Amino acid sequence: MADLFHKQAEFYVEARPSYPDELFRFISSKTPNRTRVWDVGTGSGQAAVSLAQLYERVVATDTSPEQLCFAPKLANVDYRHTPSAMSLADLHRHVASPSTVDLVTVAQALHWFDHAAFYDQVDSVLAKPGGVLAAWCYTLPRVDPSVDAVLRRVYAQSDPFWAPERRKVDDEYRTILFSYDPVEGEETTGPFEFAAERTMDLEAYLTYVRSWSAYQTAKERGVELLTEETVAELERAWGGDGKLVKAIRFPIFLRIGKVKN
Give residue 243's pLDDT.
85
- Mean pLDDT, to the nearest integer, of 13-21? 74
- Mean pLDDT, to the nearest integer, of 208-216? 93
Is the model's pTM score more than 0.85? yes
pLDDT digits (tens, 9 = 90+) for 105-140: 999 999 999 999 999 999 999 999 999 999 999 999
The CATH class given to the 2-258 domain equals alpha beta
Give residue 242's pLDDT.
73
- Give the whole-number percent of the chain exceeding pLDDT 70: 94
Tell whether the model's pLDDT for residue 218 goes beyond 50: yes
Give residue 54's pLDDT.
97
Q: What is the mean pLDDT of the chain?
A: 92
Query: Any idea where the domains of the chain sit in the sequence?
Result: 2-258
Nearest C-alpha neighbor of 15 from the set 159, 213, 152, 161: 213
Tell whether the model's pLDDT for residue 4 goes beyond 50: no
- Mean pLDDT, to the nearest integer, of 66-77? 92
Tell whether the model's pLDDT for residue 3 goes beyond 80: no
Q: Are strands 103-107 and 36-40 parallel, antiparallel or unpaired?
A: parallel
Nearest C-alpha neighbor of 201 from the set 234, 250, 154, 177: 234
Tell whether the model's pLDDT for residue 11 goes beyond 90: no
